[in-house]
Amino acid sequence: MKKVLTTLWIVTMLVLFDSCSTEDGPTSIETEIMPMELSEIYTPNGIVGSSSLNKNSNPNITKVWNTTDYGESRFLLDETNVKTIRERDVLNNEIFTFRFLREGPNFIYGIDDSRELYIALPIWNAGKNAHAYFREPGSSWVQWRIFKYSSCINDTTKPTIASNPDAPLWYEQYRRDGFINFSNMILCLGEENPKLLDYIPATRAYLNITDNCDQDLTFIQTPAPGTIITQSQHLTGQIRVIDDNSNELIVRFYDYIRLCN
């Protein structure tokens, strides 16, 4: 039984990955706007619009650039303390940081001092596709990937659950009763020192959770996956879904865990 479940899970994940990797065709952009020259960004007295200091205790992500290419990184403008442009991968791990230089009418500019690499992130086409640009010392701006920019200033909207016609019956029960019943998913746990399952993949796949600003949300399960199960029990728990502005959706779940003799 365990081998069958494992095989079905692998096949399901491969299908999901393949569907996410399929391109719908080239993305067209009707208008192109070029970044400012470096001489316009810098002034004799320093940098125009240099990093401001905010005394915020909570993360303050004010702008987000989501990639249109599956698997590629995205960018955030973090104004928690000193304005910083953060590049993160699809797992929300930080890759590089860029020192904020200036916000112009069409782009926000930053520099990665360690690589002497400039970046220009578009803000002129909010909610729609636009090219970002990069530039190395002694060269011109180079057109880069396409991003969709959104302004998340004072974003207080928590992640939401969209309809999903392909979801199993427990999904409709969640929509009706406000919790997921996983009771029939596992007959029993028989191995030595059995561990609690990770309910996050199924929750992400079927509840179709989205956010108005962020495409990569943080999921935290309580009790945590891998928790040792010592006896048969009725288990209640929750999955916290958090966006980059700390807006939180809580998904509650229930399971009856039976240990085999």
Who wins on pLDDT, 132 or 3? 132
Amino acid 209: pLDDT: 85
Task: Identify the weakest region by mean pLDDT among 39-53, 54-68, 147-161.
Answer: 39-53
Prediction pTM value: 0.49
CATH number of this structure's domain 157-257, picked from the four choices 2.60.40, 3.30.70, 1.10.3470, 1.10.287 = 2.60.40
Q: How far is CA 252 from the centre of its chain?
A: 21
The predicted-structure confidence for 211-259, as pLDDT tens digits, reads as follows 877 766 889 999 999 888 888 888 889 999 988 777 899 999 888 887 7
- 259 backbone dihedrals φ, ψ, rounded to 5°: -90, 135
- Write down the domain spans for the chain: 31-151, 157-257
Q: What percent of the chain has pLDDT over 70?
A: 74
Is the pLDDT assigned to residue 6 strictly greater than 90?
A: no
For 121, other C-beta atoms within 10 Å of its C-beta total 24
Q: How far is CA 190 from the centre of its chain?
A: 36
Who wins on pLDDT, 57 or 3? 57
- Using DSSP bridges, classify how beta strands 209-210 and 160-161 pair: parallel, antiparallel or unpaired: antiparallel
